[in-house]
Amino acid sequence: MGAGAVEAFLEMLAAERGAAANTLAAYGADLADFAAFAAHAGYDVAHADPVLAAAYLADLARRGLSARTQARRLSALRQFHRFLLSEGRREDDPTGGLDAPRLPKSLPMALERAEVAALLATAAARADPSGAMVLAALELLYAAGLRVSELLALPRAALAAQGETIRVRGKGGRERMVPLSAASRAAAAAWLALAPASRWLFPGRDPRRAMTRQGFARALKDLALAAGLYPALVSPHVLRHSFATHLLEGGADLRSLQMLLGHADIATTEIYTKVAGERLARLVGTHHPLAAPAAAGGGLPGRPSRA
């Protein structure tokens, strides 16, 4: 049953969620790794129990895989077993009691620029109101660094004037003016042309109420899957962190970043200096010629090594 169940799951991702080929390949590889672990323990991949699932997660940590990779593998397992549950192929989800590995709280996770671009391009390619909605929301989260609570509380009138800034009410009732990019204004205008009549910029199923966090989270995770990203690693908060990290990498100063994010204390903003520093260190470690392994005696290409 195991191989057939995995194949059926991947077919569902492609047909119902529009998963890209790279996404399907990644899910397939993650489930193949779990299948090998299960087989070694005498289990079929589709008949895992909570003890086996917990043992697999512990094995990932013993292998030295990063917390982000462990979280991605767990996300794949959860979606696979929830699929089996929804299809009536089993009666429980063995991953239900497992906690995802926590990334260090002092280092907010940020997406790479290419990952954000993939999300935006996937949303823009959708020719339906849901695509216009999630594109406008993404632009505001990433281009303006809004919190999800700030995003969903925006009234429709906040963007009706087509201004270059938007007034946002943040934590503690503090208001700030946030500049809008041309792309975010265009995306918002396209969504307003299709949105149902409501006082909210992003109404819920009942237009009298704003969209819930849960409803938006589902839409964002479906988009992440279609864009080839693991849904568990994409959230409104991650997009806000990406906004801050990418601005700082581009040369923004901390005080300006503090104002844009709406932080009451600049110490909260300072964490991004460490995030940006570590990302730049990884960049140098990957691409600088002196960081490459000295496979042929060391030194730069064309330059003799010293004895």
Which of the residues are catalytic?
147, 171, 237, 240, 263, 272
What residues contact residue 128 under an 8 Å CB cut-off, 6+ apart? Answer: none
The closest alpha carbon to 31, from 5, 54, 50, belongs to: 5
Angle at 62 between CA 56 and CA 67, to 5 degrees: 80
> 10 Å Cβ neighbour count for 274?
12
Determine phi and psi for 282, rounding to 5 degrees: -65, -40
Report the distance separating Cα 261 and Cα 241, nearest Å: 10
Give 153-158 contacts, CB < 8 A, sequence gap 24+.
153/210, 154/200, 154/201, 154/202, 155/199, 155/200, 155/201, 156/192, 156/195, 156/198, 156/199, 156/200, 156/201, 157/199, 158/201
> 10 Å Cβ neighbour count for 64?
7
The upper half-sphere exposure of residue 16, i.e. CA atoms within 13 Å in the direction of its Cβ, equals 7
If DSSP codes are grouped into helix, strand and coil, which group holds residue 105? Answer: coil
